[in-house]
Amino acid sequence: MECINNFFIQEGISYEISDFEQHKVFGSTNIYEVIRIIENVPLFFEAHIKRLNNSLKLLNRENAVSFEEVKNNINKLIKLNNNKEGNIKIIFNVDNEKIIDTYYYISHSYPSKEEYEDGVSTVLYYGERENPNAKIINNNFREEVNKVIKENKAYEAILVDREGYVTEGSRSNIFMVKGNALITSPVEKVLPGITREVIIKLCVENGVEVIERRVKDDEIAQLDGLFISGTSPKVLPICKVNNYIYNSPKNDIISLIMKKYDDFIYNYIKSYK
Reduce the DSSP state of residue 41 to 3 states and report it: strand
Contact 170, 113 (CB under 8 A): no
Q: What local confidence, expressed as pLDDT, does residue 242 receive?
A: 97
Clarify whether residues 125 and 101 are in a common domain: no
Q: Does one domain contain both 142 and 242?
A: yes
Answer with the one of 59, 80, 106 that is the final residue of a domain: 106
Backbone angles phi, psi at 162, to 5 degrees: -65, -20
Q: What's residue 13's pLDDT?
A: 96
**Contact between 19 and 35 (Cβ < 8 Å):** no
What CA–CA distance (Å, rounded) separates 155 from 152? 9
Listing DSSP states for 57-83 in one string gives HHTT-TT---HHHHHHHHHHHHHHHT-
Q: Are strands 41-42 and 86-93 parallel, antiparallel or unpaired?
A: unpaired
Q: Are 224 and 182 in contact (CB under 8 A)?
A: no
Whether residues 58 and 137 fall in one domain: no
> How much is the pLDDT for 64?
67
Question: 193 and 140, same structural domain?
Answer: yes
How far is residue 97's CA from residue 44's CA, in Å, rounded to a whole number? 29
- H-run or E-run covering 202: helix 194-205
- Return the pLDDT at 196: 96
Among 106, 131, 160, the domain boundary falls at 106
The helix (run of H) or strand (run of E) holding residue 198 is helix 194-205
Residues in the chain: 273
Classify residue 181 as exposed, middle or buried by CB count within 10 Å of its CB (0-12, 13-18, 19+). middle
pLDDT, position 24: 84
Q: What is the pLDDT of residue 98?
A: 87
Do 154 and 232 fall within a single domain? Answer: yes
- Of 106, 125, 156, the residue that ends a domain is 106
Q: Are 191 and 128 in contact (CB under 8 A)?
A: no
| pLDDT of the residue at 63 | 65
Residues 260 and 152 in one domain: yes
Cα separation of 59 and 173, whole Å? 23
What letter represents residue 39's amino acid?
E
Distance, in Å, from the CA atom of 215 to the CA atom of 173, rounded to the nearest integer, reads 14
- For the chain, which residues score pLDDT lower than 50? none
Which range marks the domain in which residue 51 is found? 3-106
Q: CATH no. for residue 73?
A: 3.30.470.10
Q: Are strands 181-184 and 209-212 parallel, antiparallel or unpaired?
A: parallel
Contact (CB, 8 A) for 88 and 34: yes
Identify whether residues 128 and 96 lie together within a single domain: no
Reduced to 3 states (helix: H, G, I; strand: E, B; else coil), residue 260 is helix
Please say whether the beta carbons of 152 and 77 come within 8 A: no
Whichever domain contains 258, its CATH number is 3.20.10.10
Q: Which residues contact 235 (CB under 8 A, 6 or more apart)?
A: 195, 199, 227, 228, 229, 254, 257, 258, 261
**What is the CB-side half-sphere exposure of residue 194 using CA atoms within 13 A?**
24
Q: How many domains does the chain have?
A: 2
